[in-house]
Chains A and B, each alone.
Chain A
């Protein structure tokens, strides 16, 4: 559906392949539910959110990935994607605190431009061991899903975030000129 916020915001395309939502995902920062595509300040997302997965069957396990596809800046995303959080084996009907935190939560600190921060939920077929990548930057969600046979995502959400006092506008770099 071209009106889907994930499509319009180019999350589907830059980060994910088109998928059908089949899980209930809720992200709560400071007890406030996140609206897809809304904007949050860095001060509001300092601590990890509470990610609730709705459903009925506690045997189903999920993997949650949080990435920033606009690192270091949306116009020049050379470090796409920056991995902020990776939690696996989250049972359905519970939340992220019940899973294995493979990569700990890193507070979003965008320096230049307005970044998107994407939460992606994969359904695991079995309880599996997922290894942390060597570094956070240049993470590829598609490759990660292919590597661990996670298939297409079952849910996704994103929010926008920029510097606390307005987006970092053009800055002059000695090498790359004005960016």
Chain B
């Protein structure tokens, strides 16, 4: 079961690597899900993606500079980006159906005071589409806006503070703050609207701000909104064990099923043999009786003469 799933993931990743995506990351990541956003479109990142893998992906992404994937976006988005990596991000396809306004978010974001944040980490952020990003993120972002507005002027450390604060709400509010700072209310409403519409809008924001902190200071903060539904809090060791047990149980069940089928077939064969034998015996018996009867009974069809007169 699992091997076929992994093979599927691997095949999809290999298809995408032809586009020049980070083949290094593809190969180094576990077979379960890939960090590249392109293949994440297709692969349903399973819930079993563990904390360790997520963190590994993030650290790997920060280390490697990724080449752009197939450019989905038009060049109309060519803003004066002083960072080469920003453009890289623009070209990266997003899992949502409307990449255009996701880049708008990014650009507005980056054109704001947040642009001082290292783009490399932002580039890496794109790879980590966090599937379990909580959809209720935007509402919280709105509510915490005023609170974090005060913290933000703390500078780049604000990003770190936000990270340690945990919860994607910190990241969401960062984005909101950026917009309010740029004092473009229309943008803000659009961002919020978009964030509300896009399931991945939420993932966009926290992933960005988490990578604003280059060094991995607080994986806890990251992972708290990484894995929304922690069905498998155990490590990969217990996972494999559970899988193994399941496999054994399945094998036993299959063996029982085969035994059942075979037993029934055997019984039917025995019965058939028995019935055939009985049938043959009965037929023979009947035949013998018929012969015996025919011999004993004379033929009365012909008329016979008999006396009936008294004299």
Interface residues of A (CB under 8 A from B): 3-6, 8-10, 35-39, 74-75, 113-114, 160, 177-178
CA distance A156 to B164 in the complex (A): 70
CA distance A114 to B264 in the complex (A): 14
User: Chain A's interface: helix, strand, loop or mixed, by majority?
Assistant: loop
CA distance A10 to B258 in the complex (A): 11
- Which B residues lie within 8 Å of A36 (CB)? 263, 267
Contact of B264 among A3, A4, A37, A75 (CB under 8 A): A37
A-B contact pairs, 22 of them (CB 8 A): A3-B266, A5-B263, A5-B264, A5-B267, A5-B270, A6-B263, A8-B262, A8-B263, A9-B259, A9-B263, A35-B264, A35-B267, A37-B263, A37-B264, A37-B266, A37-B267, A38-B264, A39-B264, A75-B249, A114-B256, A114-B260, A178-B246
6 smallest CB-CB distances across A and B, nearest first, come from A9-B263, A8-B263, A5-B263, A37-B264, A5-B267, A37-B263
- Which B residues lie within 8 Å of A74 (CB)? 253, 256
Interface residues of B (CB under 8 A from A): 242, 246, 249, 252-253, 256-257, 259-260, 262-264, 266-268, 270-271
CA distance A74 to B259 in the complex (A): 13
Residue from the set B252, B260, B268 with the largest chain A CB neighbour count within 10 Å: B260
Contact between chains at B271 and A8 (CB < 8 Å): no
CA distance A122 to B207 in the complex (A): 73
Residue of B nearest to A2 (CB): B266
Contact between chains at B271 and A35 (CB < 8 Å): yes
Contact between chains at A35 and B260 (CB < 8 Å): no
Contact between chains at B267 and A177 (CB < 8 Å): no
Contact between chains at B252 and A75 (CB < 8 Å): yes
- What's the minimum C-beta distance from A155 to chain B, rounded to whole angstroms? 14
CA distance A36 to B259 in the complex (A): 13
- What's the minimum C-beta distance from A175 to chain B, rounded to whole angstroms? 14
CA distance A59 to B50 in the complex (A): 72
Given pairs A3-B270, A5-B270, 11 additional interface contacts (CB within 8 A)? A4-B266, A5-B263, A6-B263, A10-B256, A10-B259, A35-B264, A37-B266, A39-B264, A75-B252, A113-B253, A114-B256
- What's the minimum C-beta distance from B272 to chain A, rounded to whole angstroms? 11
- Which A residues lie within 8 Å of B260 (CB)? 9, 37, 114, 160
- Which A residues lie within 8 Å of B267 (CB)? 5, 35-38
- Which B residues lie within 8 Å of A8 (CB)? 259, 262-263, 266
Residue of B nearest to A10 (CB): B259
CA distance A75 to B257 in the complex (A): 12
- Which B residues lie within 8 Å of A4 (CB)? 266
Contact between chains at B253 and A75 (CB < 8 Å): yes
Residue from the set B249, B252, B263, B267 with the largest chain A CB neighbour count within 10 Å: B263
- Which B residues lie within 8 Å of A5 (CB)? 263-264, 266-267, 270
- What's the minimum C-beta distance from A119 to chain B, rounded to whole angstroms? 14
- Which A residues lie within 8 Å of B256 (CB)? 10, 74, 114
CA distance A36 to B265 in the complex (A): 10
Contact between chains at B249 and A35 (CB < 8 Å): no
- Which A residues lie within 8 Å of B249 (CB)? 75
- What's the minimum C-beta distance from A37 to chain B, rounded to whole angstroms? 4
Residue from the set A4, A8, A38, A75 with the largest chain B CB neighbour count within 10 Å: A8
Residue of A nearest to B269 (CB): A3
CA distance A5 to B302 in the complex (A): 59
